[in-house]
């Protein structure tokens, strides 16, 4: 299970905010994602996602979301970027985050259907069991692995960046990602 730690160094110009997440929820920040279907089009309008919660007579309670989607990238697939936010519906107490937008922002969470920030380039503290078990050293090339994980993998997978050091005692690795250079 991949996740990003608080240290992050990236430019806001390297963040794409045009796609919703399509896949199993919850999804963790740090997961590599690919474009689903046709991707983003200028003709895309907002989608109706259905009711926010309970429905009552003579009451409108619609949710809207973006149409273009990203999903988890697998081994051998070309990722467009990495999730900067978790994708969830509920907090740790089972309360719907749609009704608590401040807590949603504090937790860095995007709801299903909402645009989720996808970063393409930067330096991050990355925590993933797969990468930590492989014990990369500084300068090791990193690839897109199964289930959106970053791995030292095999050269046939898509290159996503470099490790800037070995994993610490908690399995956290400093990585430099550059998906803008992926061809």
Residue 84 phi, psi dihedral angles, 5° rounding: -90, -20
Task: Look at the chain and report how many structural domains it folds into.
Answer: 1
Predicted model pTM: 0.86
- What was the pLDDT predicted at 47? 64
How many Å apart are CA 13 and CA 39, to the nearest integer? 19
Confidence band for 27, pLDDT divided at 50, 70 and 90: very high
- Residue 18 forms part of a structural domain: yes
pLDDT the model gives residue 61: 64
For residue 62, give both structure tokens: 């619609």
Whether residue 56 lies inside any domain: the answer is: yes
**More confident call, 37 vs 44:** 37
Residue pointed to by tokens 């920030």: 117
Question: pLDDT tens digits for 138-178?
Answer: 899 999 988 899 999 776 788 999 999 999 888 899 999 99
pLDDT, tens only, 73-89: 988 899 999 999 999 99
Look at residue 39 in the predicted model and tell me its pLDDT: 78
Q: Indicate whether 183 belongs to any domain.
A: no
| Contacting residues for 106 by C-beta, under 8 A, at least 6 apart | none
Which residues of the chain form beta strands (DSSP E)?
A: 3-9, 15-16, 20-21, 32-36, 47-51, 62-65, 69-72, 81-83, 86-87, 109-110, 118-119, 121-127, 141-144, 150-151, 159-163, 172-178
- By residue range, what is the domain housing residue 109? 3-178
Gap between the Cα atoms of 26 and 150, Å rounded: 18
């Amino acid at each position: 299970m991949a996740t990003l730690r608080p240290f992050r160094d990236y430019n806001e110009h390297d963040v794409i905010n045009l796609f919703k997440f399509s896949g199993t929820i919850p999804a963790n920040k740090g997961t590599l994602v690919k474009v689903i279907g046709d991707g983003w089009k200028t003709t895309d309008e907002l989608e109706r996602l259905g009711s926010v919660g309970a429905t009552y007579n003579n009451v409108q309670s619609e949710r809207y979301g973006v149409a273009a989607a990203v999903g988890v990238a697998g081994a051998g697939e070309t990722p467009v970027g990495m999730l900067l936010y978790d994708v969830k519906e509920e907090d740790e107490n089972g309360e719907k985050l749609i009704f608590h937008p401040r807590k949603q922002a504090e937790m860095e969470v995007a709801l299903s259907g909402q645009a989720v920030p996808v970063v393409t380039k930067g330096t991050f503290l990355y925590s993933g069991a797969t990468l930590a078990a492989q014990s990369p050293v500084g300068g090791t090339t990193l690839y897109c692995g199964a289930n959106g994980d970053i791995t030292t993998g095999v050269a046939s997978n898509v290159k996503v960046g470099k490790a800037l050091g070995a994993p610490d005692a908690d399995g956290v690795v400093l990585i430099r990602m550059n998906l803008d250079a992926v061809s």
